Amino acid sequence: MSESDFYTFFTGGLGLLIAAALLIAWQFWRLREDEREGALSALQGVSHELRINLQRMVNEIAQIAANHEAGPDALLPIRHPQLDGVNSTLIRANRNAIAVLGATYQELEARKMSLRATLAQGRDPSTSLDDAMDAVINGIATLYMWEVHDGARPSDAGVVRSWHVRSWMKGHGFSQGALPGMYLRDEVVERLRTYGLNLTPQPLTHTAHEYYNMQYDRHADTRGPLGKRKPSKDEPDADIEEEDDEELAAANGDAATSEAELH
How do residues 16-32 score in pLDDT, each as one tens digit?
888 888 888 877 777 77
Q: What's residue 194's pLDDT?
A: 92
Single-letter residue type at 109:
E
Percent of the chain residues topping a pLDDT of 90: 33
Q: What's residue 111's pLDDT?
A: 94
Alpha carbons within 13 A on the beta-carbon side of 122: 0
3-state secondary structure of 23: helix
Q: Is the pTM higher than 0.85?
A: no
How do residues 140-175 score in pLDDT, each as one tens digit?
999 999 999 988 888 888 899 999 999 999 999 999
One-character DSSP codes across 39-60: HHHHHHHHHHHHHHHHHHHHHH
The Cα–Cα gap between 185 and 177 comes to 8
Length of the chain: 263
pLDDT of 79 over the 60 cut: yes
The Cα–Cα gap between 193 and 187 comes to 10
pLDDT of 63 over the 50 cut: yes
The model's confidence at residue 71, banded by pLDDT at 50, 70 and 90, is confident
One-character DSSP codes across 181-209: TS-HHHHHHHHHHHTT-EEESPPPSS-HH
The Cα–Cα gap between 206 and 195 comes to 23
